[in-house]
């Protein structure tokens, strides 16, 4: 559930009419609901309370400092995958001793940076990486805490580009190889094996992949303990799905039902790395219709948000609900069925690529130049994946809290586009 709602045919974020925000800050505009962010954090905390998990908000989903600050206030820790993300969470005031550092390609500089910050664990993805971590830790005279990332070969049934826990993906190691590395860690004073890590894919809409993965995880914990490891952490990554279309996602409690007893059975600490579940439905993208046109038997709604702002439809064929901010037709519950009073349209941006669309063949009420549209569930992997393609400055970001709101990121201007370029054409 989220705190975006229509009241008398006008879209509100919490108590603020979003049209006011578009008027003040322009479009494209990202609008976040603080209440929704906190609600989602609480849902996970409550569902998993029996094992007091360490919730490491996955910074890659949305790394805006304004979001990280809210997470920090809500008491989450962070999952980072680069030196840049580590820098960001420090800026947000995070306690880095609870941060987990993942990613298949950590550089020596990033490993050093993370050791200096005393991160909770490195999620280690290969033998070569383990060797690099040991070498850097040795040079600093410290012991590096590591979790081995297992590839459990579980099919999470997500898009081919976002599935990570299947054999043949670049992530993690198979259980046999990880077993060999665990022995290596035991013999190396520069390393301490704290736990195991898995991340199955994203977004996941069923419980089964977690049930399968956590069963494998508990078996591995038992095996490692039998080898003499004092190993106490299971990190199950992120991946909890959200409602992009209707009510297709499972509540956090459904995942907890299978994960909590398994974690308790081996008396481990649980870490989770949710990103999308927390921020996905806590953010929307507002845009303004520039033109409409009919061509080739189709209606095109050309608006000012594009694939450089939200690349998910182009990249993953992702579905985002889209509806006018002040609609003439009440929003439906099913956005994929025929809607009376509406007509199918391609909602496209100004970028010079046919792949630049937010939706195709989408039933929409009549819209005209100047109307505002809202693309829902855009909080995760929206701004974080945005670019300046076609030299388009990125939009502003606003955080709403009750009837108050705050600009958390300014709109970029043309100066920002060339700020790092060194060729002056006079
Ligand atoms: N932990 C690890 C190791 C991950 O690789 C990811 C996501 C997460 C946690 C957070 O997953 P979440 O809870 O947000 O599902 N750009 C794609 C999603 C890529 C996910 C990458 N890894 C999209 O827009 O759907």
Domain ranges of the chain: 4-31+280-418, 63-274
Q: Which atom of ligand 1 is nearest to the CA of 159?
A: 25
DSSP designation for 190:
T
List phi, psi (to 5°) of 379.
Answer: -70, -30
Tell which atom from ligand 1 comes closest to the C-alpha of 385. 16
Ligand 1 centre distance from Cα of residue 201 (Å):
7
Q: Which fold has domain 4-31+280-418?
A: Lyase, Ornithine Decarboxylase; Chain A, domain 1 (2.40.37)
> What are the 10-residue block averages of pLDDT along the chain, 426 residues in total?
95 98 98 98 98 98 98 97 98 97 97 98 96 98 97 80 75 89 94 96 95 96 92 97 97 98 98 98 98 97 98 97 97 96 98 97 98 98 98 98 98 97 79
Mutate-to-test residue for ligand 1 from 37, 41, 58, 317, highest number of ligand atoms within 8 A of CB: 58
| Model pTM score | 0.97
Whole-number Å distance between alpha carbons of 111 and 117? 10
Q: Could you say which of 56, 268, 342, 352 is catalytic?
A: 352
As a whole number of angstroms, the distance between CA 185 and CA 196 comes to: 13
Residue range 301-349, pLDDT digits in tens: 999 999 999 999 999 999 999 999 999 999 999 999 999 999 999 999 9
Residue 405's φ and ψ, nearest 5 degrees, are: -150, 160
Instruction: Classify residue 147 by burial, with Cβ atoms within 10 Å: 0-12, 13-18, 19+.
Output: buried
> Which ranges of 52-207 would DSSP assign to H, the alpha helix?
65-74, 83-91, 108-116, 127-140, 175-186
Please tell me the predicted confidence (pLDDT) of residue 425.
64
Tell me, in angstroms, the distance from the centre of ligand 1 to residue 98's CA. Answer: 19
Residues 130-166: pLDDT tens digits? 999 999 999 999 999 999 999 988 887 777 777 777 7
What pLDDT does residue 426 have? 61
pLDDT of residue 166: 72
Residue-level pLDDT at 260: 98
With a 6 Å cutoff on the Cβ, whether 274 touches ligand 1 is yes
Tokens 């830790």 sit at which residue? 137
Return the CATH number of the domain spanning residue range 63-274. 3.20.20.10
- Give the number of the atom of ligand 1 that is nearest the alpha carbon of residue 275: 14
Gap between the Cα atoms of 41 and 98, Å rounded: 17
Q: Do domains 4-31+280-418 and 63-274 have the same CATH topology?
A: no
């Amino acid at each position: 559930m989220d705190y975006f709602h229509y009241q008398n045919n006008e879209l509100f974020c919490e108590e603020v009419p979003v049209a006011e925000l578009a008027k003040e800050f322009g479009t494209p505009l990202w609008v976040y609901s603080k209440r929704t962010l906190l609600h989602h954090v609480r849902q996970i905390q409550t569902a998993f309370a029996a094992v007091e998990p360490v919730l490491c908000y996955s910074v890659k989903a949305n790394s805006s400092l304004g979001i990280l600050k809210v997470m920090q206030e809500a008491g989450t820790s962070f999952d980072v995958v680069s030196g840049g993300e580590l820098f960001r969470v420090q800026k947000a005031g995070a306690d880095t001793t609870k941060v987990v550092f993942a990613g298949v390609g950590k550089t020596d500089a990033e490993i050093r940076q993370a050791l200096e910050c005393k991160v909770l664990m490195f999620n280690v993805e290969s033998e070569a990486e383990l060797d690099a971590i040991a070498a850097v830790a040795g040079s600093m005279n410290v012991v590096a805490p590591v979790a081995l990332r297992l590839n459990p070969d579980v099919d999470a049934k997500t898009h081919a580009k976002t599935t990570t826990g299947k054999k043949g993906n670049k992530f993690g190691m198979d259980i046999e190889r990880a077993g060999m590395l665990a022995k290596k860690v035991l013999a190396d004073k520069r390393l301490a094996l704290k736990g195991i890590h898995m991340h199955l894919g994203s977004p996941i809409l069923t419980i089964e992949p977690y049930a399968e993965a956590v069963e494998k995880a508990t078996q591995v914990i038992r095996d490692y303990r039998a080898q003499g490891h004092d190993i106490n952490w299971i990190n199950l990554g992120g991946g909890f799905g959200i409602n992009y279309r209707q009510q297709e996602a499972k509540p956090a409690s459904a995942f907890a039902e299978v994960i909590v007893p398994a974690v308790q059975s081996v008396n481990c600490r649980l870490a989770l790395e949710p990103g999308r579940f927390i921020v996905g439905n806590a953010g929307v993208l507002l845009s303004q219709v520039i033109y409409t046109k009919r061509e080739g038997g189709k209606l095109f709604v050309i608006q000012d948000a594009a694939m450089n702002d939200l690349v998910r439809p182009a990249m993953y064929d992702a579905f985002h609900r889209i509806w006018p901010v002040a609609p003439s037709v009440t929003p439906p519950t099913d956005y994929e069925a025929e809607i009376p009073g509406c007509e199918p349209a391609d909602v496209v941006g100004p970028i010079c690529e046919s792949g630049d669309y937010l939706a195709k063949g989408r039933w929409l009420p009549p819209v005209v130049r100047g109307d505002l549209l809202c693309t829902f569930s855009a909080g995760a992997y929206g701004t974080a994946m945005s670019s300046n393609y076609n030299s388009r400055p990125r939009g502003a970001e606003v955080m709403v809290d009750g009837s108050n709101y705050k600009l958390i990121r300014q709109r970029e201007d043309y100066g920002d586009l060339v700020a790092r370029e060194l060729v002056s054409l006079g």
